[in-house]
A and B are shown apart, each in its own frame.
Chain A
């Protein structure tokens, strides 16, 4: 019976291999998060001092009593839910189109057009979108004007700001989800489909019973990725709306970030911890649900 120490020594070469990875993960991944969580238990004014005052869960109580935070949380959930559905739906639709025989040539071009924004630096892309939306100088409204459509309020009213952010983020992210769907579609078992077709199944039935079940893993993984991505929506708000207009796009990550400026470190990190738990919780749930169904 070997002890842990003997196992480690016997496999020391593997520990050597994993060492740089472990060091980086701990130093720049785990340690900052631990620090952050620790700060969430301190009084903000003392957070950066060598001997901060610990106040237990006071910061957490404070943020849940803050109507602005609760509103922000609600907003974040709403945006995330819509964004995930729209992105996955759009990405799936595009993947199906590209894969279908309807688009024999040009599939590659469309894939490139959809994926290019994924590798474009998000800052640059959003700066352009910001100006496309501008009510007075933007290309979108200029186009609407030419065609005779009413002006699009873009980033100037609450609901339209959310829509505008959604579109810009879709532009940046959907290509990735599309790629995953497309890859999974490409490796699906066509023999099954042919068999179903021979058996007299309609297109709809083929989709429902043969193709979609094979895509379940893709749907799950995309949903998890999308949830993690959109719950943390940040860069697009920084570049395009800075939380406005009138707090309409002030999502949790941005709200907490603003608190840093005001020196309310304890509350900001408490919010971060809450968001962190939500992300973990939601991702795990979806993953488990998916696994359970797959094991049916």
Chain B
């Protein structure tokens, strides 16, 4: 650090400018959250009259009873859906992707493995919003339309989970595996007794990141659901236009409920999450 400091002449004014600029950018990025939060407590009329107000006139909590039921489904149900679907898909995603990435990195030359890997990578590049009809058809043929299972299964695949696990498994020294084989362990034992314990930290990271990303997913949930009963919070926010239309305060209140849990989770686990996300793309 001090080497850096020597190399860049640090002048006081420059440092102050840097801090000022950083503060400006940081606050600009955080302002939308503040606005969202404050607006949830102000009436639509008040928001329209004085958008810049930094604190709500009153802490009017009645809006939450107003949006307690949207489109015939209770808010509690939407929240429960978000929790259940996100958790289930996260668990499934971690398990499936870890196993898959392990197999693909241990024995990349096996017949069909390269094709599978490329197939997976290529599916990320397809414009997902245009898969409406095919996903609908596939779910229909599998009998999963409108079911939680369908949604959870669909959300279980994600690129970043795969990259993170792949990168981790690639870094396991070959000698560790070889030593285990010499000791007579079979593949299942190698995986469960040696590799997975090593992966406990990365697994937690992947789980956190997956949870954060899956919570925000709205498109698959919208397509696969048959009724609003299975909507998650982001979908409710998008779809309840006709209900909430001009109820601006209601929209913001719902946005707060949608954002607060993941924002909170992120802030608690920020070190892990940011380190994980970054490492997913450090040349590897």
Contact = CB atoms under 8 A, between A and B. Distances in A.
B29 A11 contact: no
B247 to A, nearest CB: 13
Nearest to A278: B125
Contact of A29 (B5, B6, B36, B120): B120
B156 to A, nearest CB: 6
Nearest to A94: B25
Contact of B134 (A4, A39, A137, A197): A39
B262 A119 contact: yes
Interface residues of A, number: 105
Contacts of B99: 17-18, 20-21
Nearest to B131: A32
Interface in B10-39: 10, 14-15, 18-19, 21-23, 25-27, 29-33, 35-36
Interface stretch (A64-72, A77-85, A139-147, A158-166): A139-147
A24 B157 contact: yes
A268 B134 CA distance: 12
Given A113-B29, A228-B124, A228-B125, A123 B216 contact: yes
B52 to A, nearest CB: 5
Contacts of A138: 51
Contacts of A111: 274
B100 A218 contact: no
A42 B23 CA distance: 55
Given A32-B138, A115-B274, A121 B29 contact: no
Contacts of B129: 232, 234, 253-254, 256-257
Contacts of B26: 109-110, 113-114
Interface stretch (B55-63, B64-72, B102-110, B197-205): B102-110
Interface string A173-194: 0001001101110010010011
Interface stretch (B73-81, B173-181, B265-273): B265-273
SS class, residues of chain B in contact with chain A: helix
Nearest to B139: A28
Given A123-B238, A136-B48, 17 more contacts: A8-B111, A13-B188, A18-B99, A21-B97, A31-B134, A36-B131, A97-B22, A101-B8, A102-B15, A116-B33, A120-B263, A122-B234, A123-B258, A124-B234, A129-B32, A217-B282, A252-B127
List the 8 closest A-B pairs by CB distance, nearest first. Answer: A21-B100, A183-B278, A29-B123, A32-B134, A217-B283, A272-B130, A121-B216, A113-B26
Interface of A: 4, 7-8, 11, 13-15, 17-18, 20-22, 24-33, 35-36, 39, 47-48, 94, 97-98, 100-103, 106, 109-125, 127-129, 131-132, 136-139, 142-143, 146, 171, 176, 179-180, 182-184, 187, 190, 193-194, 197, 203, 206, 217-218, 221-222, 225, 228, 232, 234-235, 238-239, 252-254, 256-257, 260, 265, 268-269, 271-272, 275-276, 279-280, 283
